[in-house]
Amino acid sequence: MSAAAISANNLGHAYGDVIALHHLDLEVPPGRIGLVGANGAGKTTLIKILLGILEPTVGAVNVLGTDPADDLITVRSRIGYMPEGECLPKDQTAADFVAYAAELAGVPPNESRQRASDILTMVGLHEERFRYLGDFSTGMKQRAMLAQAIVHDPEMVFLDEPTAGLDPSGREEMLDLIGRLGGFGINVLVSSHVLPDIEQTCDWVVMLDGGQVLRNGPLSGLTETGVVELEVVDGAELVAAELRRMGAEVDEAGQTLTITSSPDDPFLAARDALAATGTALRKLGARSTTLEDIFLGEAPSDGR
Amino acid sequence: MVDKAGVVYDLGYKPYEGQRLGRSGAIKAMLKDGLRRTFGIRRKARRKIYPWGLVVLAFLPAIVFVGLAFALSSFAPDAESPFGGHAQYISLVGTVIILFVASAAPNLLIPDREEGVLSVYSSRPMTAWDYIWGRVGALALVASAFFLLPNLLMYVGFAALDEAGLAAALIDNLDDLLKVLGTMVAYVIGYGAPALLISTYAKRVGPAAGIYLAVVFISPGFAEMFRTLDFPGSRFGTLIAVLQHPEVIRNWVFDESQGSVPMSAVGFEPWVSILFIALVGAGTMYLMARRYRLEL
């Protein structure tokens, strides 16, 4: 059995002549996974294949070690899903619907009602649980949608654009909830085109563009640049000269130096150069980049 | 402005380690939800008025008939019931079933699609067929109850009045009950399948109900028109009378006259109506499977 939470092998899907996913190869570990990409990048198509709603045109996927095409029921027994659009019946109360969602996952009726109550409390809808879903605000609906996705304690939950339509405070609270899911032992796949949301909640990122994988790796590995920045009080040119003598490549901008490469650890090189020149340090740190920078730097510029 | 988004309280999260009922649990949950939805249970009060009104319409005459028969029997023990038997009552409950499925079938299928609830089903241990059986099963169960229970009340009520005694009368009239059961299948499929078919493709509940009622009540008019036309094959046009196929089977089962039913008037035997209902039922299931496979 594969240890990967999700894997894809030469996965492709086309809607008629339109290719949505193009020979994807993926291996994603358990944890909080961000699936990022512009609208139309293939995120929702990938999620629908993982759910077994769509069948791959070519290739195969595995979710928690099982191919949905081979054993749909097993895969669906272990997952939850919060779709991008609404999924709530207007004429039911939150408590009734979330309990029903648990029953649909095989949780016996009595336990379902108890779990619905607990989960609605956890997502901040305790007071509103007996209100009809049709009367809910956008923020409350998003919370109820998250509640139905996790009420049956799935091993993995797919969240498709979970912060869509939320105001800033609602967005922060939703991201906080998503961040906590990992602590509950639930693997999370968050699909979003809002890259800061992914940076805030995930520890692994799959970047899609035009149906292809642009990047796939740990978030820290993607955002670390290996570049060190230091700002000195005075004498930046002396420090720069010393660093160059040590074999480092350095850019200068006023009293700020950027070590873009170094034969040894750039932090140690900076320390030695400062000591050798007797220069006072104001600031030292690694320069990190954002997912947005990476995406804009690597995505084709044709607007796909 | 009041913040309606609520406040998050961290009360922890408890993993669920209890029993999981799997696919069968999912289908049972769907059946229960279907029954609640059709009767407006745990819904707003206005959702209850129509279905419960139909319950009264289906049962009240049976209660009145049996009650009056009791009253009459006390001073005229040998008098025939003036209200007719099961065949006549089936005409009434047939209309109730039409009115019921006109509302229930769209309410069972359309909100799930239009409100996006199908995506919840797609992340539960079930297939598109499980969903279809869950919804069709709920509709069939309730329509059957509308049909069977008032007839059962009459069956037991009239048996209680029989001079031979309740038990003997129940056994003697058992063939009536079997006829009711057989006719029930024809009515439930014959009237339920077209409602499900329309609801599978319609986008709104109201228009779906309206289209269904129009199809059922207007189709005999077209069938009658085909009966009077005189061109090769025009007699097959009489088969579009959705309303009358179950009635043909009822008349046949209870040895009643077919009267002026168009398909009988042009020479079609009752088995043609049985075949028609079976084909509409099978076709509906096939088209539902095609439709729902795209989303589940």
What whole-number distance in Å separates Cα of residue B17 and Cα of residue B124?
17
Contact B126 A76 (CB under 8 A): yes
Write out pLDDT tens, residues A25-60.
999 999 999 999 888 889 999 999 999 999 999 999
Q: What secondary structure, in 3-state letters, does chain A show?
A: CCCCCEEEEEEEEEECCEEEEEEEEEEECCCEEEEECCCCCCHHHHHHHHHCCCCCCEEEEEECCECCCCCHHHHHHCEEEECCCCCCCCCCEHHHHHHHHHHHCCCCHHHHHHHHHHHHHHCCCCCCCCCEHHHCCHHHHHHHHHHHHHCCCCCEEEEECCCCCCCHHHHHHHHHHHHHHHHHCCEEEEEECCHHHHHHHCCEEEEEECCEEEEEEEHHHHHEEEEEEEEECCCHHHHHHHHHHCCCEEEEECCEEEEEECCCCHHHHHHHHHHHHCCCEEEEEEEECCHHHHHHHHCCCCCC
Burial of A101 (0-12, 13-18, 19+ CB in 10 A): buried
Contact B122 A184 (CB under 8 A): no
Which backbone phi and psi does A224 adopt, to 5 degrees?
-80, 135
What whole-number distance in Å separates Cα of residue A86 and Cα of residue B167?
57
Q: Out of B13, B44, B124, whose CB is closest to A184? A: B13
What whole-number distance in Å separates Cα of residue B176 and Cα of residue B180?
6
Write out pLDDT tens, residues A197-252.
888 899 999 999 889 998 899 987 666 667 888 899 988 999 999 999 999 899 98
Strand-by-strand arrangement of the A156-160 sheet: A79-82, A156-160, A187-192, A32-36, A204-209, A212-218
Write out pLDDT tens, residues A149-161.
999 999 999 999 9
Residues of A in contact with B34 (CB under 8 A): none
Position B89 scores a pLDDT of 87
Evaluate if residue A273 carries a pLDDT over 80: yes
Which backbone phi and psi does B27 adopt, to 5 degrees?
-70, -40
Residue B70, number of CB atoms within 10 A of its CB: 13
Q: Report the Cα B162 to chain-centroid distance in Å.
A: 31
What whole-number distance in Å separates Cα of residue A43 and Cα of residue A213?
11
* Average pLDDT along chain B, 296 residues, taken 10 residues at a time: 56 84 92 95 92 92 85 64 77 93 96 95 95 96 94 89 85 91 96 97 96 95 90 90 95 89 91 97 97 90
Q: Spell out a b/e string for A258-284, using b for 16 or more CB atoms within 10 Å of the CB, else e.
A: bbeebeeebeebbeebbeebebeeeeb
Contact B115 A89 (CB under 8 A): yes
Q: Out of A121, A140, A184, whose CB is closest to B4? A: A140
At the fourth CATH level, the homologous superfamily of domain A222-292 is: YebC, transcriptional regulation domain (3.30.70.980)
Q: What is the token pair recorded at A72?
A: 């749909």
Q: Which residue of A has its CA nearest to B14?
A: A184
Q: Out of B12, B15, B116, whose CB is closest to A85? A: B116
Closest Cα of chain B to A182: distance in Å?
11
Which backbone phi and psi does B178 adopt, to 5 degrees?
-65, -40
Residue A218's nearest CA partner among A228, A227, A206 is A206
The amino acid at A87:
C
Q: Out of A111, A123, A184, whose CB is closest to B18? A: A111
The domain over range A6-219 is classified in CATH as 3.10.20.740: no
Residue B212's nearest CA partner among B109, B141, B73 is B109
Closest Cα of chain A to B48: distance in Å?
12
Sequence-separated (6 or more) residues with CB below 8 Å from residue A83: A145, A160, B116, B119
Contact A108 B18 (CB under 8 A): yes
Residues of A in contact with B8 (CB under 8 A): 122-124, 173, 176-177
Position B197 scores a pLDDT of 97
CA angle A160, A46, B22 (to 5 degrees): 75
Position A277 scores a pLDDT of 92
Q: Spell out a b/e string for B165-179, using b for 16 or more CB atoms within 10 Å of the CB, else e.
A: eeeebbeebeebbeb
Contact B26 A115 (CB under 8 A): no
Residues of A in contact with B296 (CB under 8 A): 53
Determine the residue among A87, A98, A110, A121 to mutate to test chain B binding: the one whose Cβ has the most chain B Cβ atoms within 10 Å. Answer: A87
Write out pLDDT tens, residues A95-145.
999 999 999 999 999 999 999 999 999 999 999 999 999 999 999 999 999
Question: Average pLDDT of chain A?
Answer: 89
Contact B8 A177 (CB under 8 A): yes
Token look-up 């249970």 returns B41
What whole-number distance in Å separates Cα of residue A187 and Cα of residue A203?
11
What whole-number distance in Å separates Cα of residue B22 and Cα of residue B30?
13
Contact A53 B295 (CB under 8 A): yes
Would you put residue A10 in left (φ > 0), alpha (ψ -120 to 50) or beta? left
What whole-number distance in Å separates Cα of residue A257 and Cα of residue A242?
12
Position A265 confidence tier, pLDDT thresholds 50, 70, 90: confident
Q: How many CA atoms lie within 13 A of A283 on its CB side?
A: 10
Write out pLDDT tens, residues A78-98.
999 999 989 999 999 999 999
Position A195 confidence tier, pLDDT thresholds 50, 70, 90: confident
Position A223 scores a pLDDT of 65
Closest Cα of chain A to B40: distance in Å?
9
Position B195 scores a pLDDT of 98
Position B8 scores a pLDDT of 55
Closest Cα of chain A to B23: distance in Å?
7
Judge contact between A223 and A199, C-beta under 8 A: yes
What whole-number distance in Å separates Cα of residue B82 and Cα of residue B84?
6
Residues of B in contact with A89 (CB under 8 A): 111-112, 115, 117
Q: What is the ipTM of this complex?
A: 0.87
Domain boundary assignment for chain A: 6-219, 222-292
Q: What is the token pair recorded at B229?
A: 């036309």
Contact B9 A126 (CB under 8 A): yes
Q: Dihedral sign for Cα B206, B212, B214, B217, please.
A: negative
Q: Dihedral sign for Cα B200, B206, B212, B218, please.
A: negative
Would you put residue A55 in left (φ > 0), alpha (ψ -120 to 50) or beta? beta
Closest Cα of chain B to A202: distance in Å?
20
Contact A140 B6 (CB under 8 A): yes
Position A303 confidence tier, pLDDT thresholds 50, 70, 90: very low
Q: Out of A101, A107, A180, whose CB is closest to B16? A: A107
Q: Dihedral sign for Cα B289, B290, B295, B296, please.
A: positive
Q: Out of B20, B44, B121, whose CB is closest to A106? A: B20
Is residue B121 helix, strand or coil?
Answer: helix
Determine the residue among B123, B129, B130, B292 to mutate to test chain A binding: the one whose Cβ has the most chain A Cβ atoms within 10 Å. Answer: B123
- How many interchain CB pairs under 8 A, A with B? 150
Would you put residue A18 in left (φ > 0), alpha (ψ -120 to 50) or beta? beta
Contact B120 A126 (CB under 8 A): no
Residue B245's nearest CA partner among B262, B233, B231 is B262
Contact B122 A51 (CB under 8 A): yes
What whole-number distance in Å separates Cα of residue B171 and Cα of residue B193?
33
Q: Out of B116, B120, B127, whose CB is closest to A72? A: B127
- What does DSSP assign to residue B238? G
What whole-number distance in Å separates Cα of residue A183 and Cα of residue A185?
5
What whole-number distance in Å separates Cα of residue B42 and Cα of residue B40?
6
Q: A81 forms bridges with which residues in the sheet? A: A158
Contact B16 A77 (CB under 8 A): no
